[in-house]
Amino acid sequence: MKFFKKPGAAIFLSLLVVYLSTTISINAKLTDKCLDISDGFFVGVRVDGVDYPPVYDSVKELCSISDEMIIIAKNYGIDTEDLYYAQDWLESAMVYSPEEVSYIGSCYEDFIQQLKLVENQLLSTGLSQRHTAAMEEYSPQISSATAAVEENSAAYNETVRQFLREYDKFPTAQWADITGTSFPGYFGSL
């Protein structure tokens, strides 16, 4: 108990308590702000007074189309293993790493590359009448959904850009480093 009565120990403990409480408070508030931005991928964003739908919805639509195309492709011996795994990585990233939008974007780029490859193979294969009709439906849906992903991700990326302009500077950036807080990432390559 005599240790706590010493002025040096009291000052040290006071400084430690102030430092720890400040760090914890900043971490909590900064993490909440970062998650608000990352959540825009899943719930949509508002940029310059315009509401943009979630990127997530269009990506999930593409995954649903991919499921159907994989079934069709297997009927014609087209290798869909790379598409299957790319889709699995993408869906897993959206479920298990929702705050890592940059990683989701990377998985999306791999997925869309494989989806286009399988789509092109299907379109150049002699398909049955039923499968031809299905592909005539899926191809415009793929184009529409990828266009929506591009438009909505541009709006999402603008919210990230605005956030970084405001917070990725002294002293916030240094506090983020100290507390281990990750700033939100861009979706896809810019």
97 vs 179, which has greater pLDDT?
97
Start-to-end CA span in the chain (Å): 59
Question: Rounded distance, CA 116 to CA 166, Å?
Answer: 38
Q: What is the pLDDT of residues 104-113, one digit of tens each?
A: 999 999 999 9
Q: What is the pLDDT of residues 74-85, one digit of tens each?
A: 999 999 999 999
Contact 93, 103 (CB under 8 A): yes
- Nearest-Å Rg of the Cα atoms of the chain is 24
User: What's this model's pTM, rounded to 2 decimal places?
Assistant: 0.86
Q: Using CB atoms within 10 A of its CB, is residue 44 exposed (0-12), middle (13-18) or buried (19+)?
A: middle
Instruction: Provide the token pair at 103.
Output: 């990683």
Q: What is the pLDDT of residues 130-147, one digit of tens each?
A: 999 999 999 999 999 999
Contact 93, 110 (CB under 8 A): no
Q: Is the pLDDT at 45 greater than 80, yes or no?
A: yes
Contact 36, 102 (CB under 8 A): no
